[in-house]
Amino acid sequence: MIAPVISKVPQPTVTVLDYGSGNVRSAVRALERAGAAVLLSSRPEDVLNADGLVVPGVGAFATVMKELKRVDGLRMIGRRVAGGRAVLAICVGLQILFDDGVEHGNREPGMGEWPGTVELLDAPVVPHMGWNTVDVPQGSTLFAGVENERFYFVHSYGVQKWDFDVAQPRMKPPLVTWSEHGSRFIAAVENGPLCATQFHPEKSGDAGARLLRNWVDSLRPRSA
């Protein structure tokens, strides 16, 4: 009797970029539960060769930019995006992808992947800390199945204006998810291989776990 052949699909590999950002262990564990084989590293071979890269971010915009530059993280993120390789950025990781950030009157250049300035939230109380709903656009892959759920935010700054140039007919505009705390701000962006969330999916319970699983599943070969 011939035994059946069992096909085992390998786990997607994910590197969490290790540049000194605090509290990344919860992100590592959440990604592992989402089905990824996870490595915490800043080594170029680990960052560039993984199926997916996660860029965490805690603290000030300028500090995160400085520490990313220290490990050559900006160049490696840029190379992945240019090559169509998946990147997921979280919290300040989302913020540094925009043109610039203004904190305490100081303006710091960001990566400029998306237009916009990170500024103090126009709200009666900051930081914005706790659970909040999001306004998800149609066609979202990241939020599939959790469009009406709440996610956990911890931030005082955000992008409150979106001025993406849609005059280019061959350029597909990113999908932008919004939330509100005093005023509307960008809660997530999906832009081909580059995705980012202002909230912390790793701290967002079942909804965050589903979102991370959606992202990890997107890393699998389409034939799997």
Confidence at residue 43, expressed as pLDDT on a 0 to 100 scale: 98
107 inside domain: yes
Active site residue 195: no
224 inside domain: no
Confidence at residue 99, expressed as pLDDT on a 0 to 100 scale: 97
Domain that holds residue 64: 13-218
Residue for token pair 């389409």 = 222
State the pairing for strand pair 150-155/157-159.
unpaired
pTM of the model: 0.93
Domain count along the chain: 1
Q: Are 214 and 143 in contact (CB under 8 A)?
A: yes
23 pLDDT tier (thresholds 50, 70, 90): confident
160-203 pLDDT tens trace:
999 876 655 567 889 999 999 999 999 999 999 999 999 999 99
7 inside domain: no
Looking up residue 167, the CATH number of its domain turns out to be: 3.40.50.880
Point out the catalytic residue in the list 91, 149, 181, 190.
91
Active site residue 200: yes
197 inside domain: yes
Point out the catalytic residue in the list 119, 149, 190, 202.
202
Tell me the Ramachandran region of residue 84: left when phi exceeds 0, alpha when psi lies from -120 to 50, beta otherwise.
left
Give the least confident one: 10-24, 47-61, 125-139.
10-24
6 inside domain: no
171 inside domain: yes
Point out the catalytic residue in the list 128, 155, 181, 200.
200
